[in-house]
Amino acid sequence: MRIKNLAALFVLMAMLSGCVSMAGPAGAASASAEAPAASASVEESAASEPVEDPTGVVSAPPTESEIDVTGLKISEDEYPRVDGSTAMIPLGEAVAAVMMEKDRADCAQYAEFNRTYVSYTRLVDNEADILIVMEKDDQIGDYIKEKGVQFGLEIEPVGRDALAFMVNTQNPVDNLTTQQLVDIYSGKITNWAEVGGEQMEIAAFQRNSTAGSQTLMKKLVMHDTPMLSAPESLFVFDSMDTMFNAIADYDNGPASIGYNAYYFVTTMRSDPNVKLISVDGVFPDQESISSGAYPLGNDFYTVIRDNALEDSPERLLFRWLQSAEGNALVAAEGYSTIN
């Protein structure tokens, strides 16, 4: 359950760290005056060579900073422009509430996220300062090269989500293997009777190529197997919500199957006509995703430009999100944590 009472979250963090300070200078990004002495003596590590990943995104290794981020808070004037994936909106609102000591209900304006692909492009174009986001698509690397920018992206995991498969509740199928999913979405399996269901043609919905859930589908399920070129009626270009509605409302209800971010379909959206199914015999939940038992789990990330200054609000927030306090907030919001 998401934390709506900000005071309760502060108590949770205080119990975790024992040194959270919420009294800092207004109008500036600041760190706790009660930080352990050891934190103030960390020397910057020697920078290693940046590494280019297969998508062309250069991720420079982050350097350690002498600035302790325990109890970090950021004034409204200096709060960075945060963008990200739809499923990360609740976390974005919670982060804003903690950083600026605002009521959660007043923080929606600080988490008006533009979805996965667009948020990455906005970071590259300096229209956003930091992301809380799902897996990047290969096209982001092409976008960076096309722009010819002189910086890379620092990407660090801060929690886990998963690709969850949904069917209509009228469908008796409760489990599919990863290979069956591959076969359904490559066109080898076309009827539910082939996987223990009723005699009806499968309506396999899929997302557009730049959607965050489509990136996870290719990475976690399809790998090198090309997806079937589905008719336009089975493509969902709009949003995660539209995919959800398609499974609930499709004319041939029991025949439909689709996929989405686990957090979105369990916390941000619900419908009595939609159910999640197990994959390889494991049902997705917080525990199975965190432990890795559910086979389609994947990290989500915080991302900044690698030229962000060490004392900039975005870099301090980037580091805070990776801290014990950040991890506590991820858990409090109902996301799976990184073990």
Specify the pLDDT at position 53. 54
Give the Cα separation of 106 and 97 in Å (integer): 8
Mean local confidence (pLDDT), 147-158: 93
Q: Are residues 12 and 147 in the same domain?
A: yes
In the chain, beta strands by DSSP E: 51-52, 58-59, 82-84, 130-133, 153-168, 175-176, 203-204, 206-207, 235-236, 256-261, 274-276, 278-279, 297-305
- At 230-272, the pLDDT tens digits run 776 676 656 677 778 778 875 657 899 999 999 999 998 878 8
Q: Are residues 132 and 61 in the same domain?
A: yes
pLDDT at 96 over 60: yes
Q: Are 208 and 237 in contact (CB under 8 A)?
A: yes
Q: Are residues 10 and 122 in the same domain?
A: yes
Give the Cα separation of 50 and 95 in Å (integer): 29
Specify the pLDDT at position 252. 58
Neighbours of 291 (CB within 10 A): 13
**Structural domain boundaries enclosing 165:** 161-297
Top pLDDT among 4 and 300 is at 300
pLDDT at 34 over 50: no
Mean local confidence (pLDDT), 298-302: 96
Top pLDDT among 283 and 205 is at 283
Domain presence at residue 174:
yes
**Mean pLDDT, the chain, as a whole number?**
82
pLDDT at 22 over 50: no
Q: Strand 51-52 to strand 58-59: parallel, antiparallel, or no bridges (unpaired)?
A: antiparallel
Q: What is the DSSP string of 109-120?
A: GGG----HHHHH
Q: Are residues 124 and 254 in the same domain?
A: no
Specify the pLDDT at position 270. 79
Q: Are residues 88 and 167 in the same domain?
A: no
Mean local confidence (pLDDT), 136-153: 88
- At 168-221, the pLDDT tens digits run 999 999 999 999 999 999 999 999 999 999 999 999 999 877 787 888 999 999
Q: Are residues 11 and 156 in the same domain?
A: yes
Backbone dihedral angles phi then psi of residue 85, each to the nearest 5 degrees: -85, 155
Domain presence at residue 250:
yes
Confidence of residue 8 (pLDDT cuts 50, 70, 90): very low
Top pLDDT among 295 and 208 is at 295
Domain presence at residue 149:
yes
Q: Are residues 187 and 95 in the same domain?
A: no
Q: Are residues 204 and 271 in the same domain?
A: yes
Specify the pLDDT at position 269. 82
pLDDT at 226 over 50: yes
Top pLDDT among 168 and 21 is at 168
Q: What single-letter amino acid sits at 272? A: P
Please choose, from the candidates 80, 99, 82, the residue with its C-alpha nearest in 3D space to the C-alpha of residue 26: 99
Domain presence at residue 117:
yes
Q: How many domains does the chain have?
A: 2
Q: Strand 203-204 to strand 130-133: parallel, antiparallel, or no bridges (unpaired)?
A: unpaired
Domain presence at residue 30:
no
Q: Are residues 184 and 268 in the same domain?
A: yes
Q: Are residues 78 and 175 in the same domain?
A: no
Specify the pLDDT at position 323. 96
Torsion of CA 256, 258, 112, 331, to 10 degrees: 120
Q: For 12-21, 86-95, 311-320, which range has the lowest pLDDT when averaged over its residues?
A: 12-21
Q: Are residues 118 and 264 in the same domain?
A: no
Q: Strand 206-207 to strand 278-279: parallel, antiparallel, or no bridges (unpaired)?
A: unpaired
Domain presence at residue 186:
yes
